[in-house]
Structure 1
Amino acid sequence: MAAGSGDSRGLRVAIGPNQDRHLTDAVEVAGGSVVPLSEAQILVWIGGPDRFPELPDAIEWVALSTAGIEHFVDAEVIDDKRLWTNASGFYARGVAEHALALLLGGTRQIVRSAKTRWAKGTVDPAVRTLRGSTVSIIGAGGIGRELTPLLKACGATVLAVNRSGHTVDGADVTMSADRTDEALAQSDHVVLAAPDTPETRHMINDRTLPLLKPHSWVVNVARGPLIDQAALYRALAAGALGGAALDVTDPEPPADDDPLFDLDNVVLTPHVANPAGRLTEEMAPFLAENLRRFAAGGELLSLVEVGKGY
């Protein structure tokens, strides 16, 4: 299905399940108008799949506010009758910043220092620099493109892994996903930024963790199920890894007695790489751009590939 055509001033947009001033402003900046769902041709949905409405036939495009859409896929919300977009790449800059902070917090031993009391004898020998290191970004899409120059500024070599193997601007090396093992074996540290699909689930596991080095840090700013957390704990407890910095877990939130909390080389942040309080503010300019593209019959940003789950 192609995007619409014509003047954006004629676009009728519903926002749900609640109204939002940032998104309302984006619609109006693009020349559209906010209307009830029954009168709309476009739905901007900022809720989850549990409250998702039955869509009128007139809805041509649904804009979801999350990058990961696995819950919508599992709920069988997404159909092939209309266009669907997610928020892939919309929040990439902030997430990349968080990923760098987590990696530096680990390699510079800030995490361990915060969990101990002036343990210089333990901390000092473990401090590492990103200068001269190789950092792989697994799932190097929008987050990868934003993170790459930040890592390069720290003196790291960037090894980008994506589904197609198409070159990621700024990366020193780009590999296709079927070479992930090779990438891990060449890496000092790894940042996970891939979607949660059957192919990526537990990609970090008992088999792949030994490919990393004893000083390696694993950073996850994507989805918790990319990591087999039991396998990760075993590797960390055995001293086979430098540490782990996770903004997402499986399950989420982790149980109060999750053993990862007890390790001084683990940091868990509560899924705040893209804070909920700024979600619609960050989404708004991309929505406005997509509305303009839709009106002009152009290709939408972050178009969902129905059937692939992202």
Structure 2
Amino acid sequence: MLPDADPVFVDAASAAGGRVEPLSSATRGLVWTSSDGGDRLDSVLSEHPAISWVQLPWAGVDAFADLLHRHRGDGRVWTSAKGAFAQPVAEHALALALAVLRELPRRARATAWEADERGRTLYGAEVVIVGAGGIAVELLQLLAPFRVRATVVRRADAPVPGAARTVTTDRLAEALGAAEVVFVVAALTPATRGLIGAGELAALPPGAVLVNVARGGLVDTDALVAALGSGRLGGAGLDVTDPEPLPAEHPLWTAPNCLVTPHVADTEAMTVPLFARRIGANVAAFVDGTTFDGRIDLDAGY
């Protein structure tokens, strides 16, 4: 377990039947606990070819993309935390959507009583969810009491429980045409970078709201700033940005009805026990030869 063997993670691995020991020629599985996907992990894998399974720490693996590409032919099983942190991230996405619909970014900055009739409800809204992973599944459950009509946009058109319909990515602009709220929860890959650009934002009805809790690079930042500034986009809730961290003078900080949180949808207090659970499940799968959770599709990149 490298670079840091948190006792919570060690206990989870041990309880699942694994033995956590110093790196050696006997090492067969590796739990990587750092978001750094650089030279050290590459060296460990190159120097220890007997390692047949690697657990990465986050749901998104874009930071490890080059490493995964270099090692894709070595026969190793790679797993991520995808789906493990879905509940807190979906919860944050819902919070951002409600805040922006109720104009809370503007109202929180007010220094005097400013009564007006602005603000909308989520009940019965047309919702588009871009992505169909664990966050989307949890978000659909949270949205159910609001009786929204949800469309999921994904690579395949297989149905998703709780969604009224599922369409493929090539029909994204069509799906956006009726959307009142758009949630971006897809993985960032070369194919999805800039997925929401000027054309997609223009396809939205006037006043629509965009929420991104996935990766900043999925949305064209300049196009987003322009859409907010023009007033055509009704607001944005962003837990992720491009660039990240977002510079202090960036126009998104002062854009109309825009709420930015600093990539805190899943804080350490939330992720440590959830990642420990993922470690335990995958150590058990490794020991018993059963199915891994969060196995990475090296061809798809997530």
TM-score by length of 1: 0.90
SS at match of 2:177: helix
> Aligned partners of 1:182, 1:301: CA distance in 2, in Å?
33
Residue-by-residue CA offset, 1:40-77 (whole Å, 9 max, x unaligned) = 21000011112324221111100001111122113455
Which residue is equivalent to 1:93? 87
SS at match of 2:223: helix
Superposition pairs of residues 122-141 of structure 1, within 5 angstroms: 124-141=116-133
> Aligned partners of 1:139, 1:302: CA distance in 2, in Å?
16
Q: RMSD of the TM alignment (CA)?
A: 1.5
What displacement does 1:119 show?
5.3
2:72 to 71, 79, 86: 79
> Aligned partners of 1:117, 1:213: CA distance in 2, in Å?
31
Which residue is equivalent to 1:28? 14
> Aligned partners of 1:145, 1:182: CA distance in 2, in Å?
22
Which residue is equivalent to 1:149? 141
Q: Is the 8 A contact 2:17 2:287 kept in 1?
A: no
1:108 alignment partner AA: R
Q: Does 1:54 align with 2:41?
A: no
Q: For residues 282 and 203 of structure 1, do their structure 2 counterparts lie closer, same or farther at Cα, with a shift above 3 Å needed?
A: same
Structure 1 unaligned blocks of 5 or more? 1-14
What displacement does 1:254 show?
1.1
SS at match of 1:191: strand
1:83 alignment partner AA: V
Structure 2 unaligned blocks of 5 or more? none
> Aligned partners of 1:301, 1:26: CA distance in 2, in Å?
15
Superposition pairs of residues 165-184 of structure 1, within 5 angstroms: 165-184=157-176
SS at match of 2:188: coil
Superposition pairs of residues 228-243 of structure 1, within 5 angstroms: 228-243=220-235
Q: For residues 20 and 58 of structure 1, do their structure 2 counterparts lie closer, same or farther at Cα, with a shift above 3 Å needed?
A: same
> Aligned partners of 1:99, 1:57: CA distance in 2, in Å?
40
Aligned residues: 294
SS at match of 2:227: helix
Superposition pairs of residues 177-256 of structure 1, within 5 angstroms: 177-256=169-248
Q: Is the 8 A contact 1:134 1:156 kept in 2?
A: yes
Q: Does 1:44 align with 2:31?
A: yes
What displacement does 1:109 show?
1.6
What displacement does 1:253 show?
0.6
Q: Is the 8 A contact 1:78 1:84 kept in 2?
A: no
SS at match of 1:54: helix
> Aligned partners of 1:119, 1:214: CA distance in 2, in Å?
27
SS at match of 1:135: strand
Task: Report % sequence identity.
Answer: 40
